[in-house]
Amino acid sequence: MLYFSKIDIYLMFMLCLGIESTAHTFGVGIVSDKGEILANSKDVYKPPHGSGIVPHDAKVHHENCKERVLEDALKSAGVDLSDIDLIAFSQGPGLPPCLWVGTEFAKKISNENNIPLIGVNHPVAHIEIAKLTTGAKDPVVIYVSGGNTQILAFAGGRYRVFGETEDISIGNALDTFARKVGLPYPGGPKIEKLAKSGKYVELPYVVKGMDLSFSGIVTAAEKLYRDGVKLENICFSLQETCFSMLVEVTERAVAHTGKKEVVLTGGVAANKRLIEMLEIMCKERGCSFSSVPMEYSGDNGVMISWTGILAYKSGQRTKNFDPISRWRTDEVEISWMK
């Protein structure tokens, strides 16, 4: 095995600094073009109790922590800005006030230090960090986060959406239910904990073709709570129902594409029960399953850096640096895959 010291890495390889700021997380990651992760610094905005993300407050949070998070990333990688060859930033989709903080900050660092700048699509970055960290080459991807729920696979130059939510994301569904029953944000981990001692109670199961819908399930779960059903039981059923729906659509995507790998990514990928259910399905289907490591499951700057490197090295150049608050995963040309 070849061994490179940190100094070798800086001299021989390209280093990219990536900035994430689409929603609650302000993150800075530093990655080499060999996929070596040198820093993953972040600060996460916490909404006030009983509330979802307040975009203006998240923006102020990002403004206040950006310099500190950058310094922390440079320090933990042991580099300074003169060692950085490329700056990548999450250009969208996301909350416009939050996106602007990252965009302006990235532009400033790029201009002041004369470093090329590239815009990155946030969901594509969740997919690419999952591939880098799991070693999957061409998987069916389940992307489940606070803002998105999509089942994707590479076909004809893009990550095509095989199934997605018709209304809210799964993360939003879990967070909304949690908020309604007085659990703090983020709701996903708390629901997972409570679900461990729960039993099944009926909730609607909503799969329409390859698409999913979660908002009616949340309404039904809230009604059960008002009717006095034990919170643990609702949490258990909420997970079992929503996750079964995801597994069903993923299984059909695997059958349709004939792909041999399945990868889970996004903040909800931290959920052990979802991982377990997908593992069972994949074993039965004879395909491999892997999940992005916890530290890269939620929003982070590392995934932006790595995707920036892939895009830049395959010849992509960003012309307009303004945020793109609506930017579908399947609009992005994946020029680094054949």
Residue ranges that bind Mg ion, judged by CB under 5 A:
145, 299
Q: Exposed e or buried b for every residue in 147-168, given b needs 16+ CB within 10 A?
A: bbbbbbbbeeebbbbbbbbeeb
State the binding partner of 268 from ligand AMP, Mg ion, none, CB within 5 to 8 A by kind: ligand AMP
Answer yes or no whether residue 145 interacts with ligand AMP by CB under 6 A: yes
Please name the residues in contact with 11: beta carbons below 8 A apart, sequence gap of 6 or more.
none
Near ligand AMP by CB under 6 A, which window of 48-56, 143-151, 156-164, 279-287?
Answer: 143-151
**Among the listed residues 20, 33, 175, 240, the single contact to ligand AMP using CB under 6 A:** 175
List of E strands, the chain: 15-20, 25-32, 37-44, 86-92, 117-121, 140-144, 149-155, 158-164, 207-208, 211-212, 261-265, 288-291
Smallest gap from Cβ 147 to ligand AMP, in A, equals 6
Answer yes or no whether residue 187 interacts with ligand AMP by CB under 6 A: yes
State the binding partner of 301 from Mg ion, ligand AMP, none, CB within 5 to 8 A by kind: none
Rounded to 5°, the CA angle 48-266-44 comes to 30
Q: What is the DSSP string of 226-269?
A: HTT--HHHHHHHHHHHHHHHHHHHHHHHHHHH--SEEEEESGGG
Smallest gap from Cβ 56 to ligand AMP, in A, equals 19
Of 121 and 145, nearer to Mg ion (C-beta) is 145
Distance, in Å, from the CA atom of 137 to the CA atom of 337, rounded to the nearest integer, reads: 9
Smallest gap from Cβ 219 to ligand AMP, in A, equals 18
Q: Residue 78 phi/psi, 5° resolution? A: 70, 35
Place of tokens 């070693």: 135
Q: For residues 237-266, which are near ligand AMP according to CB under 6 A?
A: 266
| CB of 134 closer than 8 Å to CB of 306 | no
Sketch the per residue contact string, 286 through 325, with ligand AMP: x for CB under 6 A, - otherwise.
------------xx--------------------------
The amino acid at residue 96 is: P
Of 24 and 158, nearer to ligand AMP (C-beta) is 24
CB-facing half-sphere around the CA of 311: CA atoms within 13 A: 30
**Among the listed residues 92, 188, 301, 323, the single contact to ligand AMP using CB under 6 A:** 188
Near ligand AMP by CB under 6 A, which window of 61-69, 111-119, 169-177, 328-336?
Answer: 169-177
Smallest gap from Cβ 113 to ligand AMP, in A, equals 28
Beta-bridge mates of residue 151: 142, 163
**Among the listed residues 9, 88, 174, 247, the single contact to ligand AMP using CB under 6 A:** 174
State the binding partner of 119 from ligand AMP, Mg ion, none, CB within 5 to 8 A by kind: none
The amino acid at residue 147 is: G
Binding site for ligand AMP (CB under 6 A): 145-147, 171, 174-175, 186-189, 192, 266-268, 270-271, 298-299
